[in-house]
Amino acid sequence: MRARYPDIEGHVDRHGLKLGYEVFGAANQRTVLLMPTWTIIHSRFWKMQVPYLARRYRVITYDGPGNGRSDRVTDPARYTPGAYASDAVAVLDECGVESAVVVGMSLGARYGTTLAAQEPHRVAGLALIGPALPLTPPSPEREAIFDSFRLPYPENVTGWGKYNLAYWHDHYADFVEFFFSQCFSEPHSTKAIEDSVGWALETNSRVLEAEENRPGPEDDWGELLTRLRCPTLVIHGTHDRIQPHERGRVAAQLSNGRLLSMEASGHIPNVRDPVKVNLALRDFVERVAS
């Protein structure tokens, strides 16, 4: 049972890849586009935002390649920020939308920032939640994983040692349970973790490997943020174990935007503290519209 079912749902075909999208609300309302994030989960992670925002705005969600109602694909080129931005444009075109307030969470912040930089006329405002933008050093807990990601994992591996390609292939379910226990650092997060693990099990480690192999080089995110022309809002949990809170502060500063620090919140505050996030997004949309 869903709190709000879509008024329109369908697929957009982009070069042979089908992307599933849903539209909530009337066409004569301002549009909010809720971007996909890491393909480990699909657009249902916005389930706490859609019912509230759709009372006031037209809300569009879509599943990125590799999960949900979109095609599973293992071509790394389909997981670049530029490809995600082009996907978003295709969805907006399919829905007849010229401009939208764009919201991106975690990796979705890269995709939204790329969209706003490449297609500024399509983005009226940009909200970033727990942005996965490498503007500061990673947390100490995660710093060591990058060198060992493609190496054999040790016996009795624990913690962030599970962020390892071979471990994903051998123990995917265990990895996603660990990962989402870190995303939701708040007490009493059992339901949020269970939901996220269930969504993660709708895809597989081969898809995640393709996303990890996306071709580079890494974009200069600081430079992209400084040349954004739209209003920005950054929402970041102070207890985020995935992306340090300092990254959100720097993102807000570089984009000349507002920072909303969520005290004691983890990486996905839109799930664990939806009322505060929803009100912040509502106020941001109204400010952009004024």
Beta pairing partners, 10: 21
Cα distance between residue 142 and residue 19, in whole Å: 32
pLDDT reported for residue 225 = 98
Q: Sign of dihedral through CA atoms 43, 128, 180, 76? A: positive
The token pair at 15 is 């070069």
Domains of the chain: 8-139+215-289 (3.40.50.1820)
pLDDT reported for residue 102 = 98
pLDDT reported for residue 146 = 84
What band does 181 get if pLDDT is binned at 50, 70 and 90? very high
The residue count for the chain: 290
What band does 157 get if pLDDT is binned at 50, 70 and 90? very high
* pLDDT tens-digit series, residues 199-225: 999 999 999 999 999 998 889 999 999
**What is the value of pTM for the model shown?**
0.97
Task: Tell how far CA 39 is from the center of its chain.
Answer: 9
Helical segments of 144-273, H only: 145-148, 165-170, 172-183, 190-200, 205-212, 221-226, 245-254, 269-272
| Average pLDDT for 129-157 | 90
In this structure, the dihedral spanned by the alpha carbons of residues 81, 245, 251 and 54, taken in order and rounded to 10 degrees, is 70
pLDDT reported for residue 28 = 87
Whether residue 160 is predicted with pLDDT greater than 90 in this model: the reply is yes
Other Cβ atoms within 10 Å of 231 Cβ, number: 18
Helices and strands, counts by H and E, the chain: 13, 8
- Closest-CA residue to 242 (of 223, 274, 269): 269
pLDDT reported for residue 232 = 98
Other Cβ atoms within 10 Å of 47 Cβ, number: 16
Whether residue 290 is predicted with pLDDT greater than 80 in this model: the reply is no
